[in-house]
């Protein structure tokens, strides 16, 4: 059996969380190697690009969150086999990473500079990407983002919406998704009620 170790920060979000959820939902055995933010400088020295998440697959350490998502998605049966549906799933995952990259540019700012950058982030990228996601969801039938069933795309959106509405990102109103993209809030509630996800967070 393949030995899997996922290394990521010790919080329930970010680029590592969709893979954790997928492996939990798919009953894929793995080591969930979490570390506190304070240890990042040390941990990153042991990673190929100084970044997380990484997935150790037996002896080989692999980087790139979405590549990891696709791999564990295939193992867990949560990634489309159909090429077109896989394209739709990938589109959502990559788009969300673009949005996360805009958010990351506000990290490290403080005071008024942080406030201005976060307000601009909400008024610009958040509005644009949430509208795009809502349209994608509607085009795919309104329930799931690809393949007419739960896939990594839904998990990635679920984690994004949890973070945006989680109240931990200063100057991002907790009702931002409800206000801008109510269909994504509904999607978030529905996906969050999936038994394996409820079970996962209850056990955290």
Ligand X SMILES: N[C@@H](CCC(=O)N[C@@H](CS)C(=O)NCC(=O)O)C(=O)O
Give contact residues for ligand X (rule: CB under 6 A).
14-15, 50-53, 63-66, 97
* Nearest distance in Å: CB 199, ligand X: 25
Cα-to-chain-centroid distance, residue 15? 5
Nearest C-alpha neighbor of 7 from the set 26, 196, 107, 49: 49
Q: Name which of 5 and 183 has its Cβ closer to ligand X.
A: 5
Strands 54-57 and 60-63: antiparallel
Smallest distance, Å, CB 47 to ligand X? 8
SS3 75: helix
Tell me the closest approach of the beta carbon of residue 95 to ligand X, in angstroms: 13
Closest to ligand X by CB, 103 or 180: 103
CB of 66 to ligand X, least distance (A): 6
Q: How far is the CB of 150 from ligand X (least distance, A)?
A: 22
Tell me the backbone φ, ψ of residue 187, rounded to 5 degrees: -60, -45
Q: Is 52 or 161 the residue whose CB approaches ligand X more closely?
A: 52
Task: Output 53 or 180, the one with its CB closest to ligand X.
Answer: 53
Q: Which is nearer to ligand X, 68 or 181 (CB)?
A: 68
Closer residue to ligand X in complex, CB, 15/24: 15
Q: Nearest distance from residue 9's CB to ligand X, in Å? A: 7
Q: Please state, in angstroms and rounded to a whole number, the distance separating the CA atoms of residues 144 and 78.
A: 12
Angle between helices 83-104 and 65-76 in degrees, nearest 10:
140
The SS3 assignment for 5 reads strand
Peptide bond into 146 cis (omega under 30): no
Q: Which stretch of DSSP H or E encloses residue 31?
A: strand 31-35
């Amino acid at each position: 059996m393949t030995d899997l170790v996922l290394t990521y920060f010790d919080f329930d979000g970010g680029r590592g969380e969709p893979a954790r959820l997928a492996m939990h939902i798919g009953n894929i055995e793995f080591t969930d190697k979490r570390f506190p933010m304070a240890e990042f400088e040390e941990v990153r020295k042991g990673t190929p690009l100084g970044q997380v998440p990484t997935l150790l697959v037996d002896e080989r350490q692999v980087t790139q969150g979405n590549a990891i998502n696709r791999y564990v998605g295939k193992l867990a049966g949560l990634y489309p086999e159909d090429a077109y549906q896989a394209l739709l799933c990938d589109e959502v995952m990559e788009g969300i990473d673009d949005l996360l990259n805009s958010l990351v540019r506000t990290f490290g700012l403080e005071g008024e500079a942080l406030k201005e950058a976060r307000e601009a982030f909400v008024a610009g990228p958040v509005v644009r990407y949430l509208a795009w996601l809502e349209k994608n969801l509607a085009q795919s039938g309104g329930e799931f983002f690809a393949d007419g069933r739960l896939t990594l795309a839904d998990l990635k959106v679920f984690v994004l919406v949890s973070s945006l509405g989680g109240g931990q990102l200063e100057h991002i109103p907790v009702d931002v998704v409800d206000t801008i993209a109510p269909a994504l809030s509904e999607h978030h509630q529905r996906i969050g009620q999936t038994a394996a996800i409820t079970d996962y967070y209850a056990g955290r």
